[in-house]
Amino acid sequence: MTAITATSAPARLRIGVSRRQWVGLLYVLPAVALVTVFFVIPLGMTAWMSLHNWPLMGEHAFIGLDNYFAILRDTRFWNALKFTFYYTVIVTIAIFAVAFPLAIFIEKPRPLTNLYRTAFFMPAVVGFASASLLWSWLLNVDSGLFSPAAYDLGLTERKVNLLATFQPAFWSIIAMVVWKVAGFTMIILMTGLQSIPQDLQEAAVIDGAGPFARFRAITLPLMRRTLALALILSVAGSILAFDQFYIILRGGPRNQTLTAVYWIFNQSFVSFKLGYGAALSMVLLVILVALSLIQLWLLRKPEGLD
Amino acid sequence: MAEAMSQNRKVGFSLARHSTGIIASVLFLAPIVWTVLSTFKPAQEARQPPLPPWPTTGFSIENYQTLNSFGDGLWVSAQNSIYVSVMTVLLSVLVSVLAGYGFSRFRFPLRDFFFVLILSTIMIPFQSILTPIFLVLTKLGLHNTLTGLVCVYVTLQLPFSIFMMRNAFDAVPREIEEAARMDGANNVTMLIKVMLPLVWPGVVTIALFAFLGAWNEFLAALVLMTDQSKFTLPVMMTALQSGRFGAIDWGAVQAGVTVMMVPCLILFLALQRFYIRGLMAGAVK
């Protein structure tokens, strides 16, 4: 105490200032506490549990890397992962094929553009669970819309159950996800399009560049960061897909549409193999973190520019 | 002559543009409109394919009335969903405003470490840590409680909302604060009286995202809420749609989906400006 009073005036001021700065810690404390308890600790526990045989009831036993060796032999997990990647590639292409033209369509402020933009975006604010429930009805063979409508129009000889075989079931999910997500991707792509300086496009027009040449030489390169962001959001979201496959297909037909998260859910919360589920989660986690690192690399600012 | 041609082309272009816009809008809105219209059919008619979508044998709210007869009733789930969403909004706004202010205006040890720690949680899928979250909640006595679910949802919102709030506070000029400090305002009154009105748009944005996130979340609610009286709407409706309460009543499913969709659509239409703002902030970073 005396030491503080004995210090010269500027030093005392500095201590006062730094003490006032410490208050900041109090402001961020609730957030740090929540993230620690509900994120950092569970994350560490996942790694720890993955080294254990951990049933819901009873003692858990340390088994080293045995869970990971079991994963190597778990063909159903690899099938789920393979299906997840297949779904991710197809749905991402489909989303971009719809969202990019829409983004170009609504980019410039013209009459009614705002109205169209809102309409395209509406399904994006509906939850995945609601959208899945809605489409599970539309896709239902007896009470739904698509099969009976196709039958009534004479397109099919009988009512076809779209969810009974893999191909129609898979493409139905793709259609539903594109309907739900395209508006979201569209808005992100639109921000990229709008950030391209108008005079650049005009200069290219004067130089005689056609629309395709302009798109390739100006639009695409200048949208690199936005494209990368939209791409990563779509890829990450699709790898973690669960709701639509659980609600509409229950993983069927014949377990062909089990995704990675679905398989982890089954192992952890249906079979209650918590340790094994944790090891599977670690695999998923590594894939997603690798994806995030690729994202950071793709989104880096071009060198020499800021 | 040439002028008339270009006039024609303009009209043609505009016609093509609006027909494209209208067709695409119809495609995007049709499933929603189709469902909402179908809910007003009598139960008998709702079992038939929705052709046409509007009620043909009389207007009825039977489908909404039957919703309450499944399990503990839809009203219980709706209350749970409302409670969870509202609490998530309140808590995540409170925690993020405090943290955003702290990160923006103070320099304390480990500040950058904590900021990066919170933001980096966005890289890790929460789906992969659900089991330990389940165990942590059990340890804390929050197992199978709506409060536990709220804690998880708030934590999931934090990276986005703290990032938003820190940027919002960063945008407030220091001079305003210094002037208020001269007038004798302390940290807390400064935050509430001076800063909050200036970062208000950011608060609305994070509140909107928190509400939509909590209202629509499915997997965590499915895993963490094991007691039917604690089900949120998506979990309850999925149980109903899976035939857990006997033959699937599609009329009731449509009514339930409508109850789940309408708050999101209304909030979005009312606060669209803030929603797009949040998306932009996410996209620009």
Q: Residue A196: is its pLDDT beyond 90?
A: no
Average pLDDT of span A23-41: 94
Task: Give CA angle at A170 (A164, A175), nearest 5°.
Answer: 120
Which range is least confidently modeled, A264-273, A290-299, B27-36? A290-299
* A134 contact B CB<8A: yes
Please give the residue of chain A at the shortest CA–CA distance from B149. Answer: A38
A116, A125, A140, A273: which to substitute to probe chain B, counting the most B Cβ within 10 Å? A125
What is the greatest pairwise CA distance in chain B?
Answer: 83
* A237 contact B CB<8A: no
CA A65 to CA A54: how far, in whole Å?
Answer: 13
Cβ neighbours for B259, distance < 8 A, ≥ 6 positions apart: B64, B67, B74, B78, B233
pLDDT tens, position by position, A111-160: 888 899 999 999 999 999 999 999 999 999 888 888 888 888 888 888 88
Interchain contact, A145 vs B50, CB within 8 Å: yes
Interchain contact, B219 vs A31, CB within 8 Å: no
The pLDDT > 70 percentage for chain A reads 92
Q: What is the secondary structure of chain B as a DSSP string?
A: -HHHHHHHHHHHHHHHHHHHHHHHHHHHHHHHHHHHHHTTS-HHHHTS--SSSS-SS----HHHHHHTTSTT-HHHHHHHHHHHHHHHHHHHHHHHHHHHHHHHH---TTHHHHHHHHHHGGGS-GGGGHHHHHHHHHHTT-TT-HHHHHHHHHHHHHHHHHHHHHHHHHTS-HHHHHHHHHTT--HHHIIIIIITTTSHHHHHHHHHHHHHHHHH--HHHHHH--SGGG--HHHHHHHHHTTTTSS--HHHHHHHHHHHHHHHHHHHHHHHHHHHHHHHHHHH-
Amino acid in position A289: V
Confidence of residue A302 (pLDDT cuts 50, 70, 90): low
In a domain, A303, yes or no: no
CA A254 to CA A187: how far, in whole Å?
Answer: 37
Amino acid in position A141: V
Contact at 8 Å (CB) between B68 and B75? yes
* A39 contact B CB<8A: yes
Which range is least confidently modeled, A9-18, A90-99, B138-147? A9-18
Chain B: give the shortest CA distance to residue A64, in Å.
Answer: 18
Please give the residue of chain A at the shortest CA–CA distance from B219. Answer: A243
Question: Which of residues A301 and B102 earns the better pLDDT score?
Answer: B102
In a domain, A260, yes or no: yes
pLDDT of amino acid B61:
85
Chain B: give the shortest CA distance to residue A208, in Å.
Answer: 20
pLDDT of amino acid B3:
65
Chain A: give the shortest CA distance to residue B129, in Å.
Answer: 6
Q: Tell me, what's the ipTM?
A: 0.91
Q: Residue A35: is its pLDDT beyond 90?
A: yes
Interchain contact, A127 vs B234, CB within 8 Å: yes
* A60 contact B CB<8A: no
Chain A: give the shortest CA distance to residue B264, in Å.
Answer: 6
Please give the residue of chain A at the shortest CA–CA distance from B261. Answer: A126
Q: Residue A16: is its pLDDT beyond 70?
A: no
User: Interhelix angle for B250-284 vs B146-170, to 10°?
Assistant: 30
User: Domain spanning B71-284 has what CATH number?
Assistant: 1.10.3720.10
- Cβ under 8 Å to B: A residues 159-188: 179, 182-184, 187-188
pLDDT of amino acid A304:
44
Q: CATH number for the domain including A160?
A: 1.10.3720.10
pLDDT tens, position by position, A212-241: 888 888 888 888 888 888 998 899 999 999
CA B72 to CA B229: how far, in whole Å?
Answer: 6
Handedness of CA B35, B36, B38, B41 (dihedral sign): positive
Chain A: give the shortest CA distance to residue B113, in Å.
Answer: 11
Please give the residue of chain B at the shortest CA–CA distance from A112. Answer: B18
CA-to-CA separations, B262 to A32, A86, B81, B86, B103, in angstroms, rounded = 34, 33, 14, 16, 36
Which residues constitute the domain of residue A141? 66-298
Name the domain count of chain A: 1
pLDDT of amino acid A8:
45
Average pLDDT of span A89-95: 97
pLDDT of amino acid A5:
42
pLDDT of amino acid A3:
41
pLDDT of amino acid B161:
94
Nearest neighbour of B187 by CB, restricted to A23, A40, A110 = A23
- List per-residue pLDDT tens for chain B, 285 residues long: 556 667 888 888 889 899 999 999 999 999 999 999 999 988 878 778 888 888 887 788 888 888 888 878 888 999 999 999 999 999 999 999 999 999 998 888 899 999 999 998 988 899 999 999 999 999 999 989 999 999 999 999 999 999 999 999 999 888 888 888 888 778 788 888 888 888 999 999 999 999 999 999 999 999 999 888 999 999 999 999 988 887 888 888 999 999 999 999 999 999 988 888 887 776 655
Instruction: Give the pTM.
Output: 0.90
pLDDT of amino acid A17:
60
Please give the residue of chain B at the shortest CA–CA distance from A151. Answer: B49
DSSP conformational letter for A248 = I
pLDDT of amino acid B256:
93
Residues B172-179: contacts with CB under 8 Å, at least 24 apart:
B172/B198, B172/B199, B177/B105
Give the domain ranges of chain B. Answer: 2-63, 71-284
CA A178 to CA B219: how far, in whole Å?
Answer: 21
